[in-house]
Amino acid sequence: MAYAITQTCCNDASCVSVCPVNCIHPTPDEPEFGTTDLLYIDPEACIDCGACADACPVDAVFPVDRLHGPDAVYADLNRDWFRDHPNDHAWGAPAFPRSLPGELGVLRIAVVGTGPSAGYTAQELLRCTSAELTMIDRLPVTGGLLRHGVAPDHQSTKRIAESFAGVFRDPRLRMHLNLEVGTDVTHEELAAHHHAVVYAVGAATDRRLGVPGEDLPGSLPATAFVGWYNAEPTVPADAVELSAERVVVVGNGNVAVDVARILLTDPDRLAATDIADHALAALRRSRVREVVLVARRGPEQAAWTAPEFLALRRLPGVELVVEDHPEVRAAIEAAAPDSRAALLAGLPLVPHDGGAEPGPGRRIVLRFLSSPVELTGDGGGRVSGVTVERTTLTADGRAEGTGETDTLRAALVVRSIGHRGVPVPGLPVDPATGRPLPGAYVVGWAKRGPSGGIGANRACARETVDALLDDAVARALPAPGAGRREFERLVRRRRPDAVGLRELRAVERAERARGEAQGRPRVKLATVPELLAAGRRR
């Protein structure tokens, strides 16, 4: 019986390298890699060895005969992908790990960030070089988006962090947490102690709508909302107010889908996850019964991935509907079988009056061809609604306003239209290309923009490490003037409360012990003082 890859696929291709018959595609060498919703196993070529299931870091691979209920669709998705992308499973040219000439000596490399792209970068450097690494994070805990971005009901996705735990314990790696580059230490100081600095700082802020009222209380960027339910220490516990019955989410990518799902999931189900305690308490008191996802374009241009949307369709006790509109109805009826619009087939198309109170029950409304033009406020200065303009798609796929407007009543608006990076203070770049000069590198979303899931960072990290090693071989890396011990003394002077691996492991034990007492994977410490106090109790 063949195997199939399911919803939690992280796309890091660990399964590809262990498949003895090369039947998992797209591989990192194929053009579709990084753009598909997940990887796929050809049921005709699979020999049922199970090597892929053993290698998968997020438990996404299962025998087809064990897929039941809603998960049965993944057997079809895997099979149908090869119907549309025939492949002879021929082996490509062999690839061998990089190595450096011995006369180069030991490189000292700093990695700024501890999220997935940083973890993959450190993993690659430790595997193929004798380098000594310094990892730095502005927070007293590691993980980046794995800890503070992945939704709490996606616990299997978070298991990829286990593959990085061994990296962080490597004796060639030193960790400095609660230390911010650009504030506590400068890039110039990092460069003075290391041959190279790799920035894995992600895309930390949200794109703005650029409409009046966007900054009213009750209007939040998605990063704040996600950080709130994930116990991100810089997001206050009272950042989200759930006293109204309708929430509007602007956008329809995976983050917008996560926000809608968390808002309407039964809190008793979330109580078995690592959701922030303050968020769980607020969701238990929540009056929210309707979440409206607003998108300026049509169903065919939806930004969610198929696995995330399929999970939304089977959310217990929640009705998923599409606001009826002639252009939307036509797009669904004409949708190709494997398109975004085809995922909406069979959903109720209903009229939606955003000015009225939501009806009985809990539901998610998908409202397409609607572009926010203003966030309106109540007498107290908080958000009370979103004025949207109807749009229509032009021949080249652009959304064009029609002049028709109406207002959706809502006391909470979450803006989820993408992320953007924040400039790194002091990062030297080539004035001709805008790219970092030798000795300074970027990886992950900081390098390629906010695109691709967690696993896409693996190939990105390998590419960045290859560029760094090319520069090392070409003798293009500047020699540091000071060493590891001098840098550690600098850190102690600048940030006496910076912490390292021992404190991190103490935090891990404390959170897991709290979770065990409640039947949860962990109970997160939600503030910097709490994290530092737990670390000191090592």
Pick the CATH number of 3-84 from 3.30.110.30, 3.90.1300.10, 3.30.429.10, 3.30.70.20: 3.30.70.20
Cis (ω within 30 of 0) for the bond into 26? yes
Backbone angles phi and psi of 2, in degrees to 5 = -70, 160
How many Å apart are CA 289 and CA 247, to the nearest integer?
8
Quickly state the pLDDT bin for 434 (edges 50, 70, 90). Answer: low
Task: Output the CATH code of domain 107-204+421-498.
Answer: 3.40.50.720
pLDDT tens for residues 371-395? 999 999 987 889 999 999 999 999 8
Quickly state the pLDDT bin for 421 (edges 50, 70, 90). Answer: confident
Nearest residue to 55 (alpha-carbon basis) of 36, 41, 42: 41
pLDDT tens for residues 206-246? 889 999 999 999 999 999 999 999 999 999 999 999 999 99
User: H or E stretch including 326?
Assistant: helix 326-333
Q: Is the pLDDT of residue 367 over 90?
A: yes
Quickly state the pLDDT bin for 1 (edges 50, 70, 90). Answer: confident
How many Å apart are CA 383 and CA 217, to the nearest integer?
6
Residues contacting residue 268 through CB under 8 Å, at least 6 positions apart: none
According to the model, what pLDDT value does residue 499 have?
97
Question: To which residue do tokens 């600048």 refer?
Answer: 494
Structure tokens that stand for 433 in this block: 């290309």
According to the model, what pLDDT value does residue 265 have?
97
What percentage of the chain has pLDDT greater than the value 90?
Answer: 81
Q: Where is pLDDT greater, at 93 or 460?
A: 460
**Mean pLDDT to the nearest integer, 482-502:** 96
Nearest residue to 37 (alpha-carbon basis) of 302, 397, 250, 369: 302
Instruction: Give helix 528-536 / helix 501-518 axis angle, nearest 10°.
Output: 100
pLDDT tens for residues 159-170? 888 889 889 999
**Mean pLDDT to the nearest integer, 78-92:** 93
Nearest residue to 375 (alpha-carbon basis) of 365, 383, 363, 366: 383
According to the model, what pLDDT value does residue 496 have?
96
Nearest residue to 409 (alpha-carbon basis) of 383, 429, 391, 432: 383
According to the model, what pLDDT value does residue 396 have?
87
pLDDT tens for residues 18-30? 999 999 999 988 9
pLDDT tens for residues 89-105? 999 888 777 778 877 88
pLDDT tens for residues 254-306? 999 999 999 999 999 999 999 999 999 999 999 999 999 999 999 999 999 99
> Which stretches of 137-271 are DSSP H helices?
145-148, 155-158, 161-168, 187-193, 222-229, 254-264, 267-270
Q: Is the pLDDT of residue 7 over 80?
A: yes
Instruction: Give helix 254-264 / helix 222-229 axis angle, nearest 10°.
Output: 50
How many Å apart are CA 18 and CA 7, to the nearest integer?
20
pLDDT tens for residues 33-71? 888 899 999 999 999 999 999 999 999 999 999 999 889
User: 3-84 and 210-416 share one CATH topology?
Assistant: no
Which fold is adopted by the domain 210-416?
A: FAD/NAD(P)-binding domain (3.50.50)
Domain range summary for the chain, segments of one domain joined by +: 3-84, 107-204+421-498, 210-416
Q: Is the pLDDT of residue 423 over 90?
A: no
Q: Is the pLDDT of residue 429 over 80?
A: no
pTM attached to this predicted model: 0.93
Beta bridge partners of 362: 318
Rounded to 10 degrees, what is the CA torsion of 66, 68, 74, 80?
90
**Do residues 491 and 498 touch, judged by C-beta distance below 8 A?**
yes
How many Å apart are CA 269 and CA 306, to the nearest integer?
23
Q: Supply the mean pLDDT for the chain.
A: 93
Q: Is the pLDDT of residue 121 over 70?
A: yes
